[in-house]
Amino acid sequence: MPTHHSNILITGGAGFIGSHVVRLFVHNFPESQIINLDKLTYAGNLANVADLEGKPNYLFVQADICDAQTLDALFERWKPTAVVHLAAESHVDRSIHEPNVFLQTNIIGTTQLMNVCLKHWGENLSNKLFYHISTDEVYGSLGPEGYFREETPYAPQSPYSASKAAADHLVRAFGNTYGLPFIISNCSNNYGPYQFPEKLIPLCINNLVHRRPLPVYGKGENIRDWLYVEDHAEAILTIFQHGRLGHTYLIGGRNEWRNIDLVRRLCQIYDTINPFGHRDSEKLITFVKDRPGHDLRYAIDPTKIEQELGWKPRTTMDDGLRRTIQWYLDNQKWLQGVVSCAYRDYYRQMYEER
């Protein structure tokens, strides 16, 4: 029987995955107050959760997870008994250019949040939960064979993944040292609506619409294991309700793609939808300078979550890509809103000046 939490704090709920998680929790827990705490960095956007405004069990708070005083006041006022922690700096390329903010938010911020949980939960740690959302990148890079499993040793290779790995270690250390009741899940690459167009799939969709080159790093041979974001949100809900304390769950869709094959498939589906009479989109594919230290392959063995919790993804890749392309086509206003001056500067620096 899952524990009832009157107040649930979700961090990073104005971001890509967080917005889907907040929406699912608001709908699934009508008797709980869902508090969405987000700093609203360049990646956070209240338009991602605009449909939730005015719902009686939903509340948004703009705050930085590094700001202990504000967290303290929030815990004093709302007394959340469960935290689902997604707030993070999340883009690998940005971490290569500017690692410090990743250390600040992903490591210090996560620690501040746990400190505040312990302070307010005190000795009474029963029926409490700190659920930390992490990534498969903490396990490093695979060769052509093998899979990441819960017991795979950590071997992060980018500033982003190293900062997430450090956070995971700290969560386990707080569990071991102070008894913090925690769960960690590590997921593979997500795609779907509301993803910021710095990540491969939405960046390519935006470029397809504007007939700009589709930049594929290196030879496009790197492999990622893709999961539709709503399937990830459902996995998080399942783990939140039924996961075992102190456990780690790996989440993935058994869905590996070489980048070049994925971008080709995206072009084919885009051409089938054919929104503006565009065709031959594959001609836009352009190989560009590789990402430094580019991990070759990620692949998850999701046996534990499948067998223990009965979770499986519902969305096939073609269906997920079609829905994603259609969403971006239907939400050009959203896209224009996030493709600001700052985004144009980033794009120029990343793709045109190197």
41 binds, among ligand DAU, ligand NAD, none (CB under 5 to 8 A by kind): ligand NAD
> Quick check: 238 binds ligand DAU (CB under 6 A)?
no
255 binds, among ligand NAD, ligand DAU, none (CB under 5 to 8 A by kind): none
Tell me the CA distances in angstroms from 325 to 17, 78, 201, 217, one per residue in order. Answer: 17, 39, 9, 21
Contact flags string 269-298 toward ligand DAU, x per CB under 6 A: ----------------------x------x
129 binds, among ligand DAU, ligand NAD, none (CB under 5 to 8 A by kind): none
Continuous H helices in 53-209: 68-78, 92-97, 100-102, 110-121, 159-178, 200-209
> Quick check: 252 binds ligand NAD (CB under 6 A)?
no
- Residue 198 annotated in active site: no
Q: How far is the CB of 184 from ligand NAD (least distance, A)?
A: 11
> Quick check: 324 binds ligand DAU (CB under 6 A)?
no
Segment lying near ligand NAD (by CB under 6 A), choices 7-15, 115-123, 168-176, 297-305: 7-15
Q: Is 123 left (phi over 0), alpha (psi -120 to 50) or beta?
A: alpha
Residues in 44-103 at the binding interface with ligand DAU, rule: CB under 6 A: 90-92
> Quick check: 165 binds ligand NAD (CB under 6 A)?
no
- Residue 301 annotated in active site: no
What DSSP string describes 255-277? -EEEHHHHHHHHHHHHHHH-TTS
For ligand NAD, give the closer residue by CB, 237 or 284.
237
Q: Are 18 and 38 in contact (CB under 8 A)?
A: yes
Nearest partner of 194 among 52, 41, 47, 92, judged by Cα? 47
- Provide the terminal-to-terminal Cα distance of the chain, rounded to the nearest Å: 55
- Residue 136 annotated in active site: yes
**Whole-angstrom Cα distance, residue 197 to residue 15?**
12
> Quick check: 20 binds ligand DAU (CB under 6 A)?
no
Cite the active site residues: 136-137, 160
